[in-house]
Structure 1
Amino acid sequence: MVKRQTVWLSTMMVLSLMLIGYYTMNNDGGLTATKNPDGSSVATSATPPDSGQSSQSSQTSGTGTTGATSQSGTSQTGTGSQAGTSGQTSTTGTGTSQAGGTASSSSDWYVNMETQLEQQYAQQVDTYNQVISNSSASADQIGQAKQKLEQLQTLVGNLETARDRVLGQGYKDCVIIPDASGQKAVVYVKTDKLTAQQAVSIVNVVSQQLNLPVVNVTVQAKA
């Protein structure tokens, strides 16, 4: 009975020494030998292998979370600042655009009116010339077309002279629009306001150049 226990203890000691040697080679300093009450040795791990990594991982994770929060806050602050700046720039730009647009639209109106009148006169001239050059037209039709063409050319010349004289009084722009009958005219001058004396002066100029009664000429200020 004693021999069996001795053999068993010897075997356990050999196995324990083999285990200690194996763990020592594969994990330096990671194992400790613990003696059992019966005198045998058992290899145990002094520190769980994953505890250090887990703690390290937790610290890294915590740091990363803190950094992400800090960066997020900074990003939000920067975005808010940029948004405020953008809003101020947009407002300023809009005001400038509106101010410029008003002046531009006023100038465009005079240009557009002059262009429309020129196109209208050009179409009338073309119509009269077609009648004059038409071999199928009667002599009476051709005569009337020539007469109207001469009247139109005279009217256009008088309008140009009247406009030049009005501009000569210091106005930035001017458009004279006669009605279809040629017996009335409306004069638009580019100015903020007109005094009674200025309006009378313009009416006299236009009425003389277009051979119209003074009462048939109207003047309006259009800045």
Structure 2
Amino acid sequence: MVKRQTVWLSTMMVLSLMLIGYYTMNNQTSTTSTNPSNSTTPTVTTSPTNATQVSNQTQETTGSNVSSADNWYNALQASVNNEISQRISNDQAIIANNNASQAQIAEAQKQLGEEEALYNSLQQATQAVIAEGYKNAVIAPDKNQTTFTVYVETNHLSKADAVKIMNIVSQQLDTSIFNISVKPHA
């Protein structure tokens, strides 16, 4: 089991390094910030978010066009993946630590399973949202992984579309719709 987890973690780190290299080579810098909602009612945002401003102009990179929105979504997804990878790495370090107690190892194994399940669920939920016709989508959990912000690439998001996305993500992540907010970002 540890070997499979090690391969998975190594793959995630390589992908992260590739993204970092891409942004370094193309002089792309982007900071991402998510401020999850702590309310007890669903949040539906129907105007573009100002969380991280990135211009909407298209930039040319070695013969292909990549929009700044694509860069913003790629950077945010990399940030989410890095956070999950870090937690997985921490759990694996505890499991591999010869000085850790059995209780610590058991807790780390439990958390490791939860992190891997969360990662897989986030990937499936993101693909399900994209299948609804959105070019880009990223699901960002808060630091406690209890509330989720779904960013979709669109200029206009109706309340009905937001609720539809919330239902999809709620089913994929097996969480209450009240823990999900949807924000457009074009």
TM-score bracket for the superposition, by shorter chain length: 0.5 to 0.7
Letter in 1 for 2:154: T
Give runs of aligned pairs for residues 24-103 of structure 1, distance below 5 A.
99-101=57-59
Cα RMSD after superposing both structures: 1.7
> Corresponding residue for 1:111?
74
Letter in 1 for 2:77: E
Mark the CA change 1:124 to 1:217 in structure 2 (over 3 Å): closer, same or farther.
Answer: same
**What is the CA distance between 1:99 and its match in structure 2?**
3.4
Residue segments in structure 2 that go unaligned for 5+ positions in a row: 1-55, 60-65
Rounded Cα–Cα distance in structure 1 between residues aligned with 2:150 and 2:57: 26
Equivalenced residues, count: 126
TM-score by length of 2: 0.64
1:169 to 132, 136, 159: 132
Letter in 2 for 1:176: I
1:192 to 152, 155, 169: 155
Letter in 2 for 1:124: R
The alignment-based identity, stated in percent, is 33
State whether structure 2 residue 147 is matched by structure 1 residue 147. Answer: no
TM-score by length of 1: 0.54
**What is the CA distance between 1:215 and its match in structure 2?**
1.6
Summarize deviations over 1:87-116 as a string: whole Å, max 9, x none: xxxxxxxxxxx8324x72211110001111
2:150–2:182 Cα contact (<8 Å) kept: yes
Higher share in helix: 1
Letter in 2 for 1:116: S
Letter in 2 for 1:100: T
Higher relative contact order, chain-length normalized (CA < 8 Å, sep 6+): 2
State whether structure 2 residue 79 is matched by structure 1 residue 122. Answer: no
State whether structure 2 residue 168 is matched by structure 1 residue 205. Answer: yes
Larger Cα-atom Rg: 1
Rounded Cα–Cα distance in structure 1 between residues aligned with 2:171 and 2:117: 14
Following TM superposition, the consecutive aligned residue runs of length 4 or more in structure 1 with deviations greater than 3 angstroms are: none
